[in-house]
A and B are shown apart, each in its own frame.
Chain A
Amino acid sequence: MGPTVRGTTARPGRIAVHIALILYTILALGPILLILVNAFKTRRAIFADPLGLPNGQTFTTIGFDRVFANADFGLYFFNSMTVTLVSLVLIVLIGAMAAWALTEYRFPGNTLLSLYLAIGIMVPIRLGSVSILRMMVELNLVNTLTALILVYVAQGLPLAILILGEFIQQIPKDLRDAARCDGVSEYRIFFSIILPLISPAIATVAVFTMVPVWNDLWFPLILAPGDGKQTITLGVQQFIGQYVTDWNAVLASLTLAIAPVLVLYLVFSRYLVRGLTAGAVK
């Protein structure tokens, strides 16, 4: 650090920097706040005073009532939860096993297999949709959450293996070598020594895996568009398509979709930021 050099010269510019950052933050959050605020206002107030906060006269939850009466958001939410959590558990477990094997053991074809598993990081699995749909039809899995979970696990594994592999490499060798001297099996070394140690990396993988799965529209639209198996993203999309002129209901359904993500993000943002800037702070 050069506090004397930069600390003193930067002072006058600091206010300008904050103004720029605050303005951009307003631009980033404004549209979302606008939706949340207006979801609790009467139709008249939404149009007459879109920027105002709801007050005694304009407060209403009629939009939410209509959403709950006309769409099964509880079910969609449950579907999204199930798909996201099951995918996550499988990705972390299966991914960690593969990452462990690839980083710990030297065996013929190791590099080739690592490269093979990395293809999925760059090549989007979406492009295989035609065959995936055919396959799911043959397996009788259309309109099931299982279809979504299988696809999301395949989609999430490459990045998970990469992140977990880098993390496993940093674990000191002594632990497992000591265990091996004591005659502990390779399975127990992984499940009782390594798996607990990689929990910080699991948090990072979780954030990177959960967000795209939770938000995805493509695969729910293609593989599970009906039969009460819609995820929340698809459910909102279908609902708004039907009630496009009912502003209260549209705003309420958007709010219902935003709120859980918002809460989770504010709670877990530390992990995400740490994951994205991994290795930066040493």
Chain B
Amino acid sequence: MTDLTASQVQSTDAVRARSRFPVHIAVFLAPAVAIYTLFSIYPLIDTIRLSLYAGDETGLRSFVGLQNFRTLLADPNWSGQFWNALRNNLIFFAIHMVVQNGIGLGLAMLLSLPRLTGGSVYRTLIFLPTMLSVVIIGFIWQLILNPLWGIAPSLLDAVGLRSLFGPWLGQESTALLTVSLISVWQFVGIPMMLIYAALLNIPDDLLDAATVDGAGPFSVFWFVRLPLILPTLGVVSILTFVANFNAFDLIYAIKGALAGPNFSTDILGTFFYRTFFGFQLQVGSPTMGAAVATAMLVIILIGVLIYLFGVQRRLQRHTF
């Protein structure tokens, strides 16, 4: 906005001669820039600023520099929880990358087969869970996996796997995996759709040429289609990354803010919520909450930068 007004002052005549530039452009842009700046960018910057302060009981804030981050990363009262949440979040992300995006890729491959009957019906139905609220999905699976209802064990019984059943959501060793898989189940439609669209974009001549040259279905996939959809896989990965490191709703719905059992499903989103609002005996702290949010912001930015400057650049050079 500033260089807009500056140029207006500097060369009003020149601008007017070229076009009727400033006023209407400013009018078109102002509402979006104002709301976006006020309720999105300003809060993010203000959160970073707040993370450098500490508040006491009276509500007075004082500047403490990076002290909050030192507390977060090294104070035994905090660091254990932070590293635990970060580790769980990485596992959560890894499961999504492998299982969600793997299944998504597989389904997209099947759906993009030429002249598949009912393709759009499958697509629509498989995408359906993605549309529902994460909260609703969380409760649905909580009921299904509830040993009281007994649906899960009797279904496993039908395929002879009853012995595998356990209170998966309640055990420390399996809770995180179970929650991750519920999330995978819900969101598999997104990579499926994006990869499907990318596969449709591949010109048929390329595939035909490869087939005529004697390439089998596997070689066509590995040497022709996969390299051509790598940019889309990059997009899918970064979307998964941002969504996972920002996740909260599912864990909160299934496990509550304490992310039990014994914090085994705690991820950065739930840790942020607890730090900010407090839980049980601990009082919430806006400044420590801001520090956790800033740490999450840094993690997400690192991921985005790796994608933009590492992955995306290389992929584009590779394909075009």
Contacts and interface: CB of A to CB of B under 8 A. Distances in A.
A123 B208 CA distance: 41
A119 B43 CA distance: 13
A265 to B, nearest CB: 5
Contact of A122 (B123, B129, B242, B296): B242
B306 interface: no
B44 interface: yes
Given A47-B149, A217-B253, A261-B131, A119 B32 contact: no
A98 B26 CA distance: 9
A211 interface: yes
Interface in A110-155: 113, 116-117, 119-120, 122-135, 150-151, 153-155
B107 to A, nearest CB: 6
A253 B47 CA distance: 36
Interface residues of B, number: 96
Contacts of B14: none
Interface string A63-105: 0000000000000000000000000000000110110111001
B108 to A, nearest CB: 11
Interface stretch (B81-89, B94-102, B297-305): B297-305
Contact of B110 (A17, A116, A158, A216): A17
Contacts of B33: 98, 113, 117
Interface stretch (B71-79, B140-148, B168-176, B311-319): B140-148
B21 A107 contact: yes
A108 interface: yes
Nearest to B212: A5
B136 interface: yes
Interface string A1-17: 11101110010000001
A179 interface: no
A177 to B, nearest CB: 13
Contacts of B13: none
Nearest to A160: B32
B121 to A, nearest CB: 8
B92 interface: no
A105 B25 contact: yes
Nearest to B50: A130
Q: Is the interface of B mostly helix, strand, loop or mixed?
A: helix
A237 interface: yes
Contact of B35 (A27, A150, A265): A150
Interface in A22-67: 24-25, 27-29, 31-32, 34-35, 46-47, 50-51
Interface of A: 1-3, 5-7, 10, 17-18, 20-21, 24-25, 27-29, 31-32, 34-35, 46-47, 50-51, 94-95, 97-98, 100-102, 105, 107-109, 113, 116-117, 119-120, 122-135, 150-151, 153-155, 157-158, 161, 185-187, 190, 211, 214-218, 221, 233, 236-237, 240, 247, 250-251, 254, 257-258, 261-262, 265-266, 269, 272-273, 276-281
22 contacts: A1-B204, A28-B128, A94-B31, A101-B28, A105-B19, A107-B22, A108-B4, A113-B33, A123-B44, A124-B246, A127-B246, A130-B50, A130-B276, A150-B35, A150-B39, A157-B36, A217-B135, A218-B248, A236-B139, A237-B253, A247-B149, A280-B197
Given A31-B144, A108-B3, 11 more contacts: A18-B118, A29-B129, A34-B140, A50-B154, A95-B32, A120-B41, A129-B289, A130-B47, A215-B135, A217-B248, A281-B200
